[in-house]
């Protein structure tokens, strides 16, 4: 029986997206502009929510948390990817890789639970409008928001500890532009079946619970909207919930394709595309989706832009 060297590597090499210099420069410009646009869009949403008193309510409190997550998600992965593209520095330390994975899974998990909380908020607003402010008090909103962050952190801690207590010995090349669970499991020379089972079970239970809560909320929302007599009320309700539902479909679809499956089905090229959808494209689209479909957000953004212009022209 052949012996296997179980010495753990001290650093990893992120294979990245391309080795061709011309392609790397093009990708650098593309992702740098996308990252700046993502930061600008989500920071503007945060500024609008914090400065506009009309938006000091539970719905926009949760939207502010979503914008914060959409700032953190690409910030965890994109700067290192840009560094690899322009400086060809693809090396990341073992500890750096572990921290990158922890914060990424933390943000992704928190966003899944936050979307469920936002769905519940819309359910209360549409199905129990007269009791909305009593039910969704700021104290409850704060507890719900803190709860999503805490559960996301503990979920990430479990996943990270399961992955980074494995042995990595045959190769240190991560077939992805950042440290993620599927490529790390595929890279390990330790048996991964039991850990994959735990990861899939935990992710399945938590993810499906959040998904069911979101789905049930929207079933009740849809029934309530269909029972409305006023066409204007139905349009307003659909407009408000349509933004959130679009974000939910984008995020759930891409994260399920990435994490809720065994490592034997891991495909590097496919995973790069899917990870870009939820890690780069979705944070860019979220502020656009909410601003285009929500009159209050559009008005608040106009006021912020007007104040900025006034300050610059003085």
CATH assignment of the domain containing 75:
1.20.1070.10
Tell me if 254 is assigned to some domain.
Answer: yes
Q: Tens digits of per-residue pLDDT, 251-273? A: 777 776 666 666 556 566 666 77
Tell me if 282 is assigned to some domain.
Answer: yes
Q: Tens digits of per-residue pLDDT, 234-250? A: 777 777 677 777 777 77
Q: What is the mean pLDDT of residues 100-107?
A: 94
Tell me if 151 is assigned to some domain.
Answer: yes
Spatial distance between the Cα atoms of 7 and 19, rounded to a whole number of angstroms? 29
Tell me if 195 is assigned to some domain.
Answer: yes
Give yes or no for residue 280 having a pLDDT over 80: yes
Residue 142: how many other CB atoms lie within 10 Å = 12
Using 50, 70 and 90 to split pLDDT, how confident is the model at 65? very high
Tell me if 291 is assigned to some domain.
Answer: yes
Q: Contact at 8 Å (CB) between 15 and 173? A: yes
Residue span of the structural domain in which 227 resides: 20-301
Say which residues have a Cβ less than 8 Å from residue 221's Cβ, sequence separation at least 6: 119, 122, 123, 126, 127, 237, 241
Per the structure, the count of domains in the chain is 1
Pick 301 or 14 by higher pLDDT: 14
Confidence at residue 281, expressed as pLDDT on a 0 to 100 scale: 84
Spatial distance between the Cα atoms of 115 and 223, rounded to a whole number of angstroms? 20
Q: Contact at 8 Å (CB) between 14 and 178? A: yes
DSSP codes of every residue in 57-117: SHHHHHHHHHHHHHHHHHHHHHHHHHHHHHH---EEEHHHHHHHHHHHHHHHHHHHHHHHH
Residue 83: how many other CB atoms lie within 10 Å = 15
Confidence at residue 1, expressed as pLDDT on a 0 to 100 scale: 39
Using 50, 70 and 90 to split pLDDT, how confident is the model at 286? confident
Tell me if 9 is assigned to some domain.
Answer: no
Tell me if 144 is assigned to some domain.
Answer: yes
Tell me if 306 is assigned to some domain.
Answer: no
- What is the SS3 assignment for 1? coil
User: Which value, to the nearest 10 degrees, does the dihedral of the CA atoms of residues 273, 275, 281, 284 take?
Assistant: -160
Confidence at residue 292, expressed as pLDDT on a 0 to 100 scale: 65
Using a 10 angstrom Cβ sphere, with 0-12 exposed, 13-18 middle and 19 or more buried, the burial of residue 165 is: exposed
pTM summary value: 0.85
């Amino acid at each position: 029986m052949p012996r296997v060297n179980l010495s753990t590597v001290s650093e990893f090499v992120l294979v990245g997206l391309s080795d061709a210099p011309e392609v790397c420069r093009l990708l650098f410009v593309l992702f740098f502009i996308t990252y700046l646009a993502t930061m600008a869009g989500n920071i503007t949403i945060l500024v609008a929510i914090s400065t506009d008193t009309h938006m000091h309510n539970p719905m926009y409190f949760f939207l502010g948390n979503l914008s914060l997550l959409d700032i953190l998600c690409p910030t965890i992965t994109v700067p290192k990817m840009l560094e690899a593209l322009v400086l060809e520095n693809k090396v990341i330390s073992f500890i750096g890789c572990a921290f990158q994975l922890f914060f990424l899974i933390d943000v992704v998990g928190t966003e899944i639970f936050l979307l469920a909380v936002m769905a519940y908020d819309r359910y209360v607003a549409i199905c129990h409008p007269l009791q909305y402010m009593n039910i969704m008090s700021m104290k409850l909103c704060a507890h719900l928001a803190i709860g999503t962050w805490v559960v996301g952190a503990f979920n990430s801690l479990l996943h990270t500890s399961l992955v980074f207590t494995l042995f990595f010995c045959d190769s240190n090349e991560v077939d992805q532009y950042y440290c993620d669970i599927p490529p790390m499991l595929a890279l390990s020379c330790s048996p991964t079946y039991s850990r994959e089972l735990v990861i899939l079970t935990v992710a399945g239970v938590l993810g499906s619970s959040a998904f069911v809560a979101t789905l049930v909320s929207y079933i009740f929302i849809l029934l309530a909207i269909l029972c409305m007599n006023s066409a204007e009320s139905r349009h307003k309700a659909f407009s408000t919930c349509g933004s959130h539902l679009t974000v939910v479909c984008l995020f759930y679809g891409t994260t399920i394709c990435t994490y809720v499956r065994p490592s034997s089905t891991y495909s590097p090229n496919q995973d790069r595309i899917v990870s870009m959808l939820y890690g780069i494209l979705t944070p860019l689209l979220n502020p656009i989706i909410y601003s285009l479909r929500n009159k209050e957000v559009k008005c608040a953004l106009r006021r912020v832009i007007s104040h900025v212009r006034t300050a610059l022209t003085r």
